[in-house]
A and B are shown apart, each in its own frame.
Chain A
């Protein structure tokens, strides 16, 4: 595989990452949302693998493997189990309708690309422009968290945001030091477990996973 092909492949995977972020934004079903999250993890893992291969960094292979294990297998499985156990309704309710969300999303992408443009110009390596895409997918996931009413989609948004960050860390910068990556992975895993505990606590107390019930604490 030549260098130009590697760049093209990473660019293509970056574009797919963004595409999946958009697909998640437009998704109406919780199950498809989780599946999309798994796909995003797969794309992430692939791109990490390609970067590892092209820059010949051993620790990035571990990262890719870890991503595959954690984000494609373990986390989606955990989430699937959780919704089965909690018997969550399948629909995702949104605060603003989906076309509007998508338009806001496009605006965010333009914003992110603009923000990242000076950085992409000064980078001569294979990372040109990837920071912008990573930032865009982080912002899109953030938007998803803000516009969803239920707890599960919010959590998926949180995890997807972490995917975008991880993409920035591995593909745009050839990987952070392994200690840091391991630490981040551990944090994400623990966070997911805590989210799980929370789902049960919230349901026990409010009888639903709808965040609308949780609007008592306000400054009046």
Chain B
């Protein structure tokens, strides 16, 4: 095993652990920013950790007609999100895990998690679970093609569907303004809001039965299962924001190959850049949520249709302008 490979594995491990540890913090930060914007003092950055600890210490209650599917779903969900977060180049490109899946497979991983949570929601047979699952599918069947289109635009620029290649092409070559990426970026923001149950589509802070989507699906979970589902949600948000960073502002990310010599300086720089970007992204997300109003659920298709349209426009512009 060469030093490069050893370093690669080390970084992979490091990134995976970092992501799992940081994800609830990001959620806490977004919540804290939301609280500030609403003139509240907020529960503090560490609140998600406290919630997780509390949930892990409780006894799980299960509906008597729950099938094994219902039990395993939280683990699958968590596993999928963790896998996704491990594939995305977050602190360094060329990690040993990343060739395992390209962007299309990444979308597949997210879809897998979604299928399981939707099935689990319907498993118990309550009205809310089914309703949430149906709405989730409505949103996702519009959001997924838009996400794919966003990825295609980026892939066309870098001639590869491998995320590390895309990031490498965008981050380590001469600085270029891509108009098509501007469109893709806007579309991505809309998809991010929809997929993470954020405000114009869903409100993560309420359990109002008429409007909720994500919360309706996980209504039957408790204790450690709920903790895993919540943690997976945090991971998903983290993963999406990381994808956004990787596609649109990848500057500062470390290169494993080049790092062999000076990893001591490249890695702290990469982590520092990541933290700054995450803080900014979280603040921007909460600002966006404060500015937007929750949409009627029947407006959601139109909103997501706009995302799809923007992504398609990005593609078209790429073909026309060659940039």
Contact = CB atoms under 8 A, between A and B. Distances in A.
Interface in B176-223: 176-180, 182-183, 186
B43 interface: no
20 contacts: A8-B323, A9-B177, A11-B179, A11-B323, A14-B179, A15-B179, A15-B182, A15-B321, A16-B179, A18-B313, A19-B182, A19-B183, A22-B309, A22-B310, A99-B305, A102-B309, A113-B319, A113-B320, A129-B322, A133-B321
A15 B301 contact: no
A109 B301 contact: no
Interface string B284-320: 0000000000000000011001100110110011011
A129 B182 CA distance: 17
Interface in A72-94: none
B177 A5 contact: yes
A132 interface: yes
A106 B312 contact: yes
A11 B306 contact: no
User: Residue among A15, A16, A18, A109 with the most chain B CB within 10 A?
Assistant: A15
Interface in A113-141: 113, 116-117, 120, 128-129, 132-133
Contacts of A22: 309-310, 313
Interface of B: 176-180, 182-183, 186, 301-302, 305-306, 309-310, 312-313, 316-317, 319-323
A210 to B, nearest CB: 24
Interface residues of A, number: 29
Interface string A1-40: 0001100110110111011001000100000000000000
B179 A12 contact: yes
A129 B321 contact: yes
Contact of A15 (B305, B317, B319): B317
Contacts of B176: 4, 8
Contacts of B317: 15, 18, 133
A9 B320 CA distance: 15
Contacts of B321: 11, 14-15, 128-129, 133
B139 to A, nearest CB: 15
B322 A110 contact: no
Contact of B316 (A4, A16, A109): A109
A26 B306 contact: yes
Contacts of B323: 8, 11
A191 interface: no
Contacts of A15: 179-180, 182-183, 317, 321
B302 A129 contact: no
Given A5-B177, A15-B183, A128-B321, A113 B316 contact: yes
B177 A8 contact: yes
A98 interface: yes
A116 B319 CA distance: 12
Given A8-B177, A109-B313, A99 B302 contact: yes
A32 to B, nearest CB: 14
B143 to A, nearest CB: 15
A12 B317 CA distance: 10
A118 to B, nearest CB: 12
B179 A128 contact: no
A165 to B, nearest CB: 18
A22 B312 CA distance: 13
A188 B45 CA distance: 56
The 7 A-B residue pairs with the shortest CB-CB distance in the complex, in nearest-first order: A15-B179, A8-B177, A129-B321, A129-B320, A12-B179, A11-B179, A113-B320
B182 A12 contact: yes
Contact of A106 (B178, B182, B309, B319): B309
